[in-house]
Amino acid sequence: MATGIKQQDRQDAIAGWGFMTPALILFAVFVFIPIFFAIYFSFTDWNGISPPAEAKFVGFDNFRVLLFEDGIRRADFFKALKNTAYFSLGVVPTQTALALLLAVIVNQRRLRFKSFFRTAYYFPSITSSIAISMLFLFLYQKNGLVNQVLQTITFGAWEPIAWMADPRGLFHIIFGWFGLTLETAPAWMQANVLSLSVWDWLSGPSVALMGIMILNTWTTIGTMMVIFLAALQDVPREVYEASEMDGANARQIFFKITLPLVRPTLFFVVTLGLIGTFQVFDQVYVMSSGGPAKTTLTVAYLVYRNGFTNSQMGLAAAIALLLFAIIFTLTLVQRRITEGKKE
C-alpha cells in the first residue's frame, strides 16, 4: 500500500511538471528572466541598439537623474507623473460611478430591452484602441461632432476648440476666470518643486488630455458595468423586496443595501481602473504623441519614448520600474482604505 502511494506520488509529480512544461518555458523566457534583465538594465546606459552586452554599468545614475537631479529628464518624469495622476483622478471615479449607476439602472426588474442596452454600452470595450483613437481624433476636430454637439446643447454659446491641439490646463482655465494667470500668480506659485513650478503642478489636465480621458472613460464603462451587473445579479431579489416592503426608498436601498453588497466588486473595479489608467499608452501614441506642450505625456508613453525613440533604454527601464513601484503602492493603499471602511 505504502509503495502504491509512493508510486502514485511519483506519477503525479511527473504528470504535473509535464503538463506545466510548455507554460513554464514560455513564462521563464518571456516573463521571469526578462524581469531580472530589466532590473539589470535599469542600472546601465544601454541605448537599445548596440549589443546588450556592451551596455555600461552606471549604478544608480538613471534613478538619480530621474528623482534627484534638476534637469529636463526629471522635469519630464514628474510632468508625466502629474499628467498620469490627473488622468487617473479624473477617469477612475467617473467611470466607476457611471458604470455602477448604469448597472443599477439596467438591473431593474421591470426594465425591457435589457440586452440591447447591455450590448450597446459594452460594445466600445471590445474594439481596438487604435481604431477608437482614430475615430475620436476625427470627432475632436474643430468642426467635428463633439464641438457641434456642445454648441447645440449650449445654444451656440460654446466656442469650438481644436481639442487635441489645446495645451491649456483645466485648472489654469478656471484660475483665468478669476483673473489669475502665470503673470499675476503669487511668488509661491512660481517656485520650483521637483523641476516643475507650483503653477505647472496645479495646471489640471489639459484640454487635449481631457479628450483622451473622455475617450478612455467611454471605452471602459461597459466592462466595469458588466462586472457590476454580475455582482448585482448575485444579490438575492428577496433582499430588495424585503427592504421595499419596509418602506425604504430608492436612495436608501442604493446606499444601505446595494453599495455594501458590491463593495468587494467596487474594490476590484477601482483597482482595475488604477492599473489601467496608470499605463495609458495606445491613445496617446495615436492621438497626440505626448503633445501639445507635453501635456499628454504619460509615464507609459515616456517609457516608450525614452527607450525606443530616444535610444535611452536604460533610463526607460528605470522609469518602468518606478512606475511598477507606484502602481503597486497605490493598489496596497487602496486596499487598505477599502478594507478600513468595512470595519
Partner 1 sequence: MTASSTYTSVRQVSPWRENLRLVLSYALLFLIALIFLYPFVLAISTSFKTLPEINERPVALIPQTFTLEGYQRMFALNVGRWAFNSFLIATIVTVSNVLFSGLAGYALTRIAFPGSRFVFLAIIGTMMIPGIVQLIPMFIVLKSLNMIDSYSGLIVPKMVTAFGIFLMAQFFEAIPREIEEAARIDGASRFRTFFQVVLPLARPAIVALVIFSFQGSWNEFMHPLIVITTNQDLYTLPLGLAFLRGGLGQNLQWNALLAGSMLTTLPMALIFLFFQRYFIEGISYSGVKG
Q: Would you call 196 helix, strand, or coil by DSSP?
A: strand
Residues 100-119 that bind partner 1 (CB under 8 A): 102, 105-106, 108-111, 113, 116-119
Q: Does the protein bind partner 1 through residue 136 (CB under 8 A)?
A: yes
The site map against partner 1 for 155-194 (x = CB under 8 A) is ----------------------------------------
Chosen residue from 191, 230, 239, 333 binding partner 1 by CB under 8 A: 230
Work out which of 92, 231, 284, 297 binds partner 1, going by CB under 8 A: 231
* Residue of the chain from 35, 97, 182, 333 that contacts partner 1 (CB under 8 A): 35
311 burial (CB, 10 Å; 0-12 / 13-18 / 19+) is middle
Is the backbone peptide bond immediately before 292 cis, with ω within 30 degrees of 0?
yes
Instruction: Select the residue interacting with partner 1 from 38, 162, 180, 257 (CB under 8 A).
Output: 38
- Site membership for partner 1, residue 144 (CB under 8 A): yes
Round to whole Å and give the CA distance between 64 and 70.
10
Binding mask 293-322 for partner 1 (x = CB under 8 A): ------xx--xx--xx----x--xx--xx-
In the complex, the smallest distance separating the C-beta of residue 340 from partner 1, rounded to whole angstroms, is 21
Interface with partner 1, residue 122, by CB under 8 A: yes
Which SS3 state, helix, strand or coil, does residue 206 take? strand
Q: Under rule CB under 8 A, which residues in 244-303 are in contact with partner 1?
A: 244-245, 247, 264-265, 268, 275, 278-279, 281-282, 285-286, 299-300, 303
In the stretch 61-80, what mask flags binding to partner 1 with x, by CB under 8 A?
Answer: --------------------
3-state secondary structure (DSSP) of residue 204:
coil
Distance CA 197, CA 284 (A): 24
Residue that the C-alpha cell 537631479 belongs to = 69
Long-range pairs, 133-139, Cβ under 8 A, ≥24: 133/215, 133/282, 133/283, 133/286, 133/287, 134/286, 136/211, 136/215, 136/287, 137/164, 137/286, 137/287
Among residues 6, 72, 93, 148, which is the contact residue for partner 1, using CB under 8 A?
148
